[in-house]
Amino acid sequence: MPNQNAQTYLELPLSGNVDAAFQANLNDTLRQIALKLDSKSGGTSSSGKSSGGASTLSGGELILSVPGTLAIKSNVAPLASLPADITPVEILALVKQAPQGGKIQFQLNSAGNNYNTGTIAANQVSGDQTSGFAVIPAGSLITLDITDVPQTFPGADLSVIVRF
């Protein structure tokens, strides 16, 4: 996506009951992300780099979101796939409402295989991991499972951000 089109393509029309300031902030954030991605990729929508014949992506993010109150369930976020191999440098998990009485545990999967297990501790709104990652192959389906939530309150509005 070229820089000059970032504003045009990323203006999200939200329903009438969404605060105008929130919508403006969201659109501004999306434009900033698009500009950063464009600058890293020379004006294209992906930053594929060649390394020994294989294409890899770097300097980006994949965000998997699960709206609402959490529950143990498989395949909770929209499916994702990337056009080139990636090796994450961080996996960050955030919730809008912290779990009470226990932890949230989730499983990131790649090509149907368990890839990474993440945790958000009780009464916390974030958790991250910054090492121990393997390559996620190009074209593989990336899915998210929630494998454990506390019974007191399971937490709400999960976002898992895979930075590469």
Give residue-wise pLDDT tens across range 24-44.
667 666 666 666 665 555 444
Single out the residue of 49, 117, 127 nearest to residue 86, CA to CA. 49
Q: Would you say 57 and 125 are in contact if contact means Cβ atoms under 8 Å apart?
A: no
Q: Provide the 10 A C-beta neighbour count for residue 23.
A: 15
pLDDT at 16: 59
160 forms beta bridges with 64, 93
Q: Would you say 89 and 130 are in contact if contact means Cβ atoms under 8 Å apart?
A: yes
Residue numbers of the domain that contains 112:
49-163
Residue 52 tokens read as 């020994």
Tell me the CATH number at 132.
2.60.120
Q: Does one domain contain both 127 and 107?
A: yes
- Which amino acid is residue 132, in one-letter code? G
Q: Would you say 70 and 132 are in contact if contact means Cβ atoms under 8 Å apart?
A: no
Q: What are phi and psi of 51, to 5 degrees?
A: -140, 100
Q: How far apart are CA 96 and CA 86, in angstroms?
A: 27
Q: How far apart are CA 50 and CA 58, in angstroms?
A: 11
Q: What are phi and psi of 29, to 5 degrees?
A: -60, -45
Q: Does one domain contain both 75 and 115?
A: yes
Q: Would you say 159 and 93 are in contact if contact means Cβ atoms under 8 Å apart?
A: yes
Q: Does one domain contain both 27 and 68?
A: no
Q: Does one domain contain both 64 and 137?
A: yes
Which regions of the chain are under pLDDT 70?
Answer: 1-20, 23-25, 27-57
Q: How far apart are CA 28 and CA 38, in angstroms?
A: 15
Q: Does one domain contain both 68 and 101?
A: yes
Q: How far apart are CA 86 and CA 138, in angstroms?
A: 7
Q: Does one domain contain both 84 and 134?
A: yes
Does the reported pTM lie above 0.85? no
Q: Count the domains in the chain.
A: 2
The pLDDT tens digits of the residues spanning 141-151 come to 999 999 999 99
pLDDT at 5: 41
Q: Does one domain contain both 121 and 107?
A: yes
Q: Does one domain contain both 38 and 61?
A: no
